[in-house]
Amino acid sequence: MTVLDPVIQYLLTCEKKRVTLADVMNGTDLPRRPVLRVLDKLTKDGYLKQVSDNHIMPKYGEFGPPRRNPTWEIINDVKSRPKQALHKNTMRDRIWQAIRAKRHFTRLDITRTSGATRRAVDEYVLILERAGYLRRTGKDGKFITFMLIKNQVDRPIIGPAGGHHE
């Protein structure tokens, strides 16, 4: 379960034009930080507008800076918000872009060009090979070489069992 769904549900049912972070936390019974992140994301997407940013001083015995308690105004209908979009520029996206650029490569080549860890590249190359996007073509010294067989612009979305679902 994500934090996004209960927050949107609260915003739809609260019948207020302005909400504070404390209101949303009390209405959803969710922790402060994830709720704040979701509300900031909805603000960035244009569904909310931050009106003010009040600070709550720490209670006696608490340390640290004052906590934020922003107030938002609902400006767009949150119902029309599309479901969670695919994240762009994830590590797998960078690996896929490096594979498409090279077409014929070793895992070490992809590790160097994508900035991903060796383990992440190994796992993703194995997944792509099982799904039929890559083929082993031999060895370059002590490294196995691969070739891209199915080339598409967007990164293939492959399920845990190796099946496709997009």
Percent of the chain that is helix, strand, coil (3-state, to 5): 40, 25, 35
Cα angle 77, 80, 86; round to 5: 125
pLDDT tens string 72-125: 888 866 655 555 554 567 888 899 999 999 999 999 999 999 889 999 999 999
Residue after which a domain boundary falls, among 23, 46, 80: 80
64 and 106 share one domain = no
Domain-embedded: residue 155: no
- Indicate which CATH number applies to the domain containing 21: 1.10.10.10
Residue 137 confidence (pLDDT): 93
23 and 71 share one domain = yes
Reported as type and span, the H/E element at residue 138 is strand 134-140
63 and 122 share one domain = no
Residue 119 structural domain: 91-148
Residue 95 confidence (pLDDT): 92
Provide the residue type at 145 as one letter. T
Domain-embedded: residue 156: no
Among 2-6, 67-71, 111-115, 159-163, which range has the highest average pLDDT? 111-115
Domain-embedded: residue 154: no
115 and 135 share one domain = yes
Residue 86 confidence (pLDDT): 47
State the total domains in the chain. 2
pLDDT tens string 112-161: 998 899 999 999 999 999 999 999 999 888 899 999 998 887 788 776 54
pTM score: 0.47
Of the ranges 21-30, 43-52, 77-86, which one carries the lowest mean pLDDT score?
77-86
pLDDT of residue 166 exceeding 50, the answer is no
Residue after which a domain boundary falls, among 61, 80, 99: 80
13 and 53 share one domain = yes
Domain-embedded: residue 160: no
29 and 69 share one domain = yes
